[in-house]
Amino acid sequence: MSTKKKKKKKTGSGQGANFIITLVTLSVIFVFFGYLIGTYAVGVLQEQHQTSMQMARNEARTPVIAREQSASPVTSTPPPSPSPEPDSPEAASPPAAPAGDLYRVQVGVFSERANADRMVAMLKEAGYEGVIIPGPPHRVQTGAFSSQENAVRLRDELIQKGFEAIVVR
């Protein structure tokens, strides 16, 4: 009888060890797959973010190009007069925008208003005023300059503080 009990103990302890080994192996496999899926998800989200930022940049540039094209007449015009010499002070400074046509610095484009509100709060924490252009998309902008040079300065300042910013018209 004692030999039978010993055999049962060996068989029972072997099954427990097999169960633990299986459990550890499955845990390692699941952690590995979780890592792969997480890495893939982060890559997809980064790609979406880059795409949306590129679309925002393109949208910001499109109105400027459309306005310039619509402002130029379709009929033929004489060629423009030669520009002033580069040494003259007029050529050194960029031309001021016409009245009502201001340069602004855009720090975000959002499909949801709540996200735009959060960006305005972040701007206020950094010491800037933010304005939401209603949408969707909701555009968060700051500053209104008649000179593109001043808008570029503000954009550079915001970029140094960690914001993604572009100059729009």
Which parts of the chain have pLDDT scores under 70?
1-13, 56-100
Q: CA–CA distance from 127 to each of 121, 122, 161 (Å)?
A: 10, 9, 11
- Confidence (pLDDT) at 11: 53
Cα dihedral sign, 162-164-167-169: negative
pLDDT of residue 131: 92
**Which pTM does this prediction carry?**
0.42
Phi, psi of 136 (to 5 degrees): -80, 150
